[in-house]
């Protein structure tokens, strides 16, 4: 063997090489081929002077393999038994490919192992051809895949795979066993991809996926057949058995036939639901309901599936829940109704399945861990608020609102912390009533009666009381104006009032502000107070300035403006009758508001440019000079300046949550006293159980909280421990 490079006429050398290759691949006359000679030819071509024929050689080999595999394909397809022919040819081809690749070792090294080439370069196709740089073996596999596997699949109606599946079916039906060639053919799919980055992808795509599909179809047919067999058996029975044995025989058939397939059906059930193959679901249900406890696993799968999908919905909503409660409520309602329909249609409205839907929704609605914003009682109360509030843009028709609220009750029933909902609902209702922005009284009352139906009179009694207060207040206003007419009094301004029952309204005064009532309003307050105490003795009035509002006229501008402001804002505005500029600190001194509140009420007026501040943009501090804008102008004459102050603040939300906690403690203490009063003595465990039972309809109390309440009652000496300390007894 000579290593020196020489001139080589490529066409001549390759013709020689090709002849030997053909002999190798055909497995005929192998004794005439010399591996050494071929190796030398490859070496000569690759080192030829003046320039090597490396690329040319590679492309020529590819050309040979393409021609060869086309021949093979034709010969495979000529056989009736494509699978065996394929397996035989593949055995030859893969062997020949391996050996020829060894012979082309030098070429392979030049193409692939050349370290000087960048990796990116290796990905590139070989100059003058269609293939990437790779070993001859990999090239041979690639060409086989293309010319044989894919071409048969696409152009020859997938005869190859069809025959494989047919053989497997015959094996399943017990007609024939699968010949070994099948496994050879299938394994070839793995070998073919051995030299690529995803060795199993070809196998998965071409065999595993269709195989799974096939398997599923097969067993679907099987279960259909099972129902049919049972029907046949019934008919057969009535033909020749005595009536008395019908039931037993049917039972026996069912158990034997179905129990055998039970786990397959159960395994497939989740896929049936998620792909909405409801006919299959019905079949699974009817079959399994024939055997004892057969349906239970289906119930579990069904419930788990609904729960997971619902939780997924909530996770996907993310932060949007805080902005708009509608998506949360409505998509969960859709989710609920979808699976309730499934219960009706698929599971003949089986009570157990409906109960599974209930359980799933309860789990979804009361879960607070998957999305911290999905605090359902709060979100649902806000949903009602959105629907019941006056809307400016379009909005819903009365009918739509009723519809939505009716549906919402479905979801409401799943809430465990109904007391939280109640608290938030009543706060929002209070705001709607006080600010007068409830859309319709009828809708409000309907909603209350829905809640009453769901939770009882006690749950809504305070809500109802709030409405009564509004009605009573209308009478009070009328009586007061009559009173003013009869007496020689002039209060100077229009005045109306809401007088609310302290205990029924969820109004916590957040700040302890000593608001300085503007002198303009003093008369109305004193006269009304006198009037009220003359009408109702034994009552004390507390004015809630922060909820009061006023209408003012601005007279210092070219145009006449009317503002609707909060009473705090009024206090600030009236100051400016005395001067055009005050510092922030001065306003605080005059109005009695605290920093935080003043900032809050100033913001809308500064945004509107009623006032101009000395340092725009920054937060207001004591020295900030606040000047009345004497050039104020606006398109509209009537402006509502107070609306942004009516929105719920985070502090209010926190206060509401805390209020719920306080209420719970009181409720638990009352419940403990009630239980102990009737039982006299109880063990700790019994007491806890009874208290939980009592509270269940409002909320699920946690045990530490109950314990704390028991301790408090022990301190207050409502209860006492028995001598051996294992029981409590009630002290009258």
Partner 1 sequence: MKVKVKGWHGVAVWRWDVPNEEVCGICRVPFDGCCPTCKTPGDDCSLIWGECTHVFHMHCLLRWLQTEGSRGQCPMDRRTWVTAK
Least distance from partner 1 to the Cβ atom of residue 670, Å: 10
**Residue among 50, 35, 46 nearest 13 (CA):** 46
Closer residue to partner 1 (CB): 234 or 600: 600
Report helix, strand or coil for 610: coil
Residue 445 zone, left/alpha/beta (φ > 0; ψ -120 to 50; rest): alpha
**Residue among 520, 491, 608 nearest 557 (CA):** 608
Distance CA 86, CA 72 (A): 9
Closer residue to partner 1 (CB): 261 or 465: 465
Is residue 437 a contact residue for partner 1 (CB under 8 A)? no
Is residue 191 a contact residue for partner 1 (CB under 8 A)? no
Is residue 713 a contact residue for partner 1 (CB under 8 A)? no
Least distance from partner 1 to the Cβ atom of residue 583, Å: 19
- In the range 538-557, which residues lie near partner 1 by CB under 8 A? 538-544, 547-556
Binding mask 378-417 for partner 1 (x = CB under 8 A): ----------------------------------------
Closer residue to partner 1 (CB): 461 or 637: 461
Task: Please answer whether residues 509 and 546 qualify as being in contact, where contact means their C-beta atoms are separated by less than 8 angstroms.
Answer: yes
Binding mask 472-491 for partner 1 (x = CB under 8 A): x-------------------
Scanning 101-109, 230-238, 296-304, 493-501 for contacts with partner 1 by CB under 8 A, the matching segment is: 493-501
Is residue 301 a contact residue for partner 1 (CB under 8 A)? no
Give the containing element (helix H, strand E) for 561: strand 561-566
Is residue 497 a contact residue for partner 1 (CB under 8 A)? yes
Closer residue to partner 1 (CB): 232 or 458: 458
Closer residue to partner 1 (CB): 93 or 459: 459
Count other C-beta atoms under 10 Å from residue 667's C-beta: 18
Closer residue to partner 1 (CB): 278 or 495: 495
How far is CA 97 from its chain centroid? 53
Give the containing element (helix H, strand E) for 132: none
Look up residue 366 and give its two tokens.
């009361």
Least distance from partner 1 to the Cβ atom of residue 552, Å: 5
Distance CA 161, CA 572 (A): 86
- In the range 452-471, which residues lie near partner 1 by CB under 8 A? 457-458, 461-462, 464-465, 468-469
**In Å, what is the CA distance from 165 to each residue of 121, 125, 182, 211, 214?**
42, 37, 10, 7, 8
Is residue 451 a contact residue for partner 1 (CB under 8 A)? no
**Residue among 50, 51, 49, 64 nearest 14 (CA):** 64
Q: Are strands 638-640 and 625-628 parallel, antiparallel or unpaired?
A: unpaired
Task: Please answer whether residues 136 and 100 qualify as being in contact, where contact means their C-beta atoms are separated by less than 8 angstroms.
Answer: yes
Task: Please answer whether residues 671 and 694 qualify as being in contact, where contact means their C-beta atoms are separated by less than 8 angstroms.
Answer: yes
Closer residue to partner 1 (CB): 374 or 433: 433
Look up residue 51 and give its two tokens.
């320039």
Is residue 634 a contact residue for partner 1 (CB under 8 A)? no
Least distance from partner 1 to the Cβ atom of residue 631, Å: 13
Scanning 57-65, 92-100, 334-342, 536-544 for contacts with partner 1 by CB under 8 A, the matching segment is: 536-544
Distance CA 700, CA 707 (A): 14
Which residues are CB-contacts of 159 (< 8 A; sequence separation ≥ 6)? 77, 82, 152
Closer residue to partner 1 (CB): 458 or 654: 458
Interacting residue with partner 1 among 58, 203, 328, 528 (CB under 8 A): 528
Scanning 173-181, 227-235, 348-356, 522-530 for contacts with partner 1 by CB under 8 A, the matching segment is: 522-530
Is residue 676 a contact residue for partner 1 (CB under 8 A)? no
Interacting residue with partner 1 among 77, 195, 224, 574 (CB under 8 A): 574
Is residue 218 a contact residue for partner 1 (CB under 8 A)? no
Least distance from partner 1 to the Cβ atom of residue 602, Å: 15
Is residue 576 a contact residue for partner 1 (CB under 8 A)? yes
Least distance from partner 1 to the Cβ atom of residue 310, Å: 36
Scanning 249-257, 345-353, 378-386, 494-502 for contacts with partner 1 by CB under 8 A, the matching segment is: 494-502
Least distance from partner 1 to the Cβ atom of residue 536, Å: 7
Is residue 521 a contact residue for partner 1 (CB under 8 A)? yes
Task: Please answer whether residues 188 and 87 qualify as being in contact, where contact means their C-beta atoms are separated by less than 8 angstroms.
Answer: yes
Count other C-beta atoms under 10 Å from residue 132's C-beta: 15
Interacting residue with partner 1 among 241, 315, 493, 703 (CB under 8 A): 493
Least distance from partner 1 to the Cβ atom of residue 463, Å: 10
Least distance from partner 1 to the Cβ atom of residue 520, Å: 5
Is residue 567 a contact residue for partner 1 (CB under 8 A)? yes
Which residues are CB-contacts of 729 (< 8 A; sequence separation ≥ 6)? 676, 680, 681, 719, 720, 721, 722
Is residue 524 a contact residue for partner 1 (CB under 8 A)? yes
Give the containing element (helix H, strand E) for 125: none
Scanning 99-107, 195-203, 420-428, 574-582 for contacts with partner 1 by CB under 8 A, the matching segment is: 574-582
Cβ-in-10-Å burial (0-12, 13-18, 19+) of 642 comes to buried
Longest Cα–Cα distance in the chain? 136
Is residue 500 a contact residue for partner 1 (CB under 8 A)? yes
Task: Please answer whether residues 275 and 263 qualify as being in contact, where contact means their C-beta atoms are separated by less than 8 angstroms.
Answer: no
Q: Are strands 727-730 and 681-683 parallel, antiparallel or unpaired?
A: antiparallel
Is residue 628 a contact residue for partner 1 (CB under 8 A)? yes
Least distance from partner 1 to the Cβ atom of residue 562, Å: 7
Closer residue to partner 1 (CB): 377 or 518: 518
**In Å, what is the CA distance from 556 to each residue of 290, 461, 553, 570?**
87, 49, 9, 16
Closer residue to partner 1 (CB): 166 or 522: 522
Report helix, strand or coil for 115: coil
Task: Please answer whether residues 353 and 400 qualify as being in contact, where contact means their C-beta atoms are separated by less than 8 angstroms.
Answer: no
DSSP for 14-82, please give it: HHHHHHHHHHHHHTSSGGG--HHHHHHHHHHHHH-BSS--HHHHHHHHHHHHHHHHHHHHHHHHHSS-H
Least distance from partner 1 to the Cβ atom of residue 624, Å: 21
Closer residue to partner 1 (CB): 332 or 628: 628
Look up residue 164 and give its two tokens.
């494989």
Closer residue to partner 1 (CB): 576 or 728: 576
Scanning 173-181, 249-257, 404-412, 516-524 for contacts with partner 1 by CB under 8 A, the matching segment is: 516-524
Distance CA 82, CA 176 (A): 17
Report helix, strand or coil for 280: helix
- Residues facing residue 125 across a β-bridge: 132
Count of residues interacting with partner 1 (CB under 8 A): 57
Least distance from partner 1 to the Cβ atom of residue 632, Å: 11
Binding site for partner 1 (CB under 8 A): 434, 457-458, 461-462, 464-465, 468-469, 472, 493-505, 507, 518, 520-521, 524-525, 528, 532, 536, 538-544, 547-556, 562, 567, 570, 573-574, 576-577, 628
């Amino acid at each position: 063997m000579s290593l020196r490079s020489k001139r080589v006429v490529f066409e001549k050398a390759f013709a020689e090489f090709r002849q030997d290759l053909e002999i190798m691949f055909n497995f005929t006359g192998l004794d005439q081929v010399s591996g050494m000679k071929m190796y030398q030819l490859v070496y000569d071509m690759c080192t030829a002077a003046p320039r090597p024929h490396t690329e040319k050689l590679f492309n020529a080999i590819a050309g040979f393999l393409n021609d060869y595999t086309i021949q093979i394909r034709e010969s495979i397809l000529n056989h009736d038994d494509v699978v065996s022919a394929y397996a035989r040819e593949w055995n030859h081809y893969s062997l020949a490919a391996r050996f020829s690749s060894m012979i082309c070792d030098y070429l392979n090294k030049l193409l692939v192992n050349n370290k000087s080439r960048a990796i990116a370069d290796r990905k590139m196709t070989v100059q003058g051809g269609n293939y990437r740089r790779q070993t001859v073996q990999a090239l041979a596999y690639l060409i086989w895949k293309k010319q044989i596997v894919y071409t048969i699949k696409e152009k020859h109606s997938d005869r190859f795979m069809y025959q494989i599946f047919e053989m497997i079916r015959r094996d399943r039906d017990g007609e024939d066993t699968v010949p070994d060639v099948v496994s050879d053919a299938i394994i070839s799919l793995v070998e073919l991809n051995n030299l690529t980055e995803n060795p199993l992808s070809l196998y998965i795509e071409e065999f595993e996926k269709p195989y799974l599909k096939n398997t599923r179809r097969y067993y679907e047919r099987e279960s259909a057949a099972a129902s049919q067999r049972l029907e046949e058996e019934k008919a057969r029975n009535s033909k020749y058995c005595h009536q008395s044995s019908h039931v037993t025989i049917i039972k026996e058939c069912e158990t034997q036939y179905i129990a055998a397939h039970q786990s397959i059906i159960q395994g497939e059930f989740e896929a049936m639901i998620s792909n909405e193959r409801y006919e299959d679901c019905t079949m699974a249900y009817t079959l399994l309901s024939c055997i004892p406890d057969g349906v239970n696993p289906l119930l579990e799968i069904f419930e788990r599936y609904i729960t997971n999908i619902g939780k997924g919905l909530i996770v996907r909503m993310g932060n949007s829940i805080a902005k708009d409660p509608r998506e949360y409520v409505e998509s969960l309602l859709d989710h609920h109704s979808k699976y309730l329909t499934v219960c009706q249609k698929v599971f003949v409205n089986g009570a157990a399945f409906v109960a599974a839907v209930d359980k799933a929704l309860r789990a979804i609605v009361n879960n607070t861990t998957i999305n911290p914003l999905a605090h359902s009682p709060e979100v649902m109360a806000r949903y009602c608020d959105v629907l019941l509030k006056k809307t400016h843009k379009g909005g819903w028709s009365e009918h739509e609102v009723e519809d939505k609220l009716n549906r919402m009750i479905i979801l409401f029933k799943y809430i465990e912390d109904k007391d939280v909902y109640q608290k938030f609902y009543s706060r929002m209702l209070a705001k709607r009533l006080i600010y007068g922005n409830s859309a319709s009284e009828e809708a409000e009352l309907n909603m209350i009666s829905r809640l009453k139906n769901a939770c009882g009179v006690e749950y809504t009694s305070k809500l109802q009381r709030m409405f009564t207060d509004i009605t009573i207040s209308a009478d009070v206003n009328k009586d007061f104006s009559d009173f003013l007419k009869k007496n020689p009094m002039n209060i100077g301004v229009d005045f109306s009032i809401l007088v609310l029952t302290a205990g029924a309204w969820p109004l916590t005064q957040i700040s302890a502000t000593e608001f300085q009532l503007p002198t303009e309003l003093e008369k109305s307050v004193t006269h009304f107070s006198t009037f009220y105490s003359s009408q109702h003795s034994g009552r004390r009035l507390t004015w809630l300035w922060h909820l009061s509002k006023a209408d003012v006229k601005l007279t210092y501008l070219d145009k006449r403006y009317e503002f609707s402001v909060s009473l705090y804002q009024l206090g600030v505005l009236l100051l400016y009758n005395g001067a055009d500029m005050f510092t922030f600190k001065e306003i605080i001194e005059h109005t009695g508001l605290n920093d935080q509140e003043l900032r809050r009420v100033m913001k809308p007026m500064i945004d509107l440019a009623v006032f101009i501040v000395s340092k725009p943009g920054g937060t207001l501090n004591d020295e900030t000079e606040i000047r009345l804008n004497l050039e104020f102008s606006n398109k509209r004459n009537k402006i509502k300046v107070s609306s942004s102050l009516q929105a719920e603040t985070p502090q209010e939300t926190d206060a509401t949550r805390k209020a719920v906690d306080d209420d719970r403690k009181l409720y638990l203490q009352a419940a403990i006293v009630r239980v102990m009063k009737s039982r006299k003595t109880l063990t700790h465990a019994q007491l806890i159980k009874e208290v939980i039972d009592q509270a269940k309809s409002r909320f699920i109390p946690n045990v530490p909280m109950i314990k704390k309440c028991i301790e408090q009652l022990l301190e207050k000496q409502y209860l006492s421990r028995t001598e051996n300390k294992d029981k409590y007894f009630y002290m009258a």
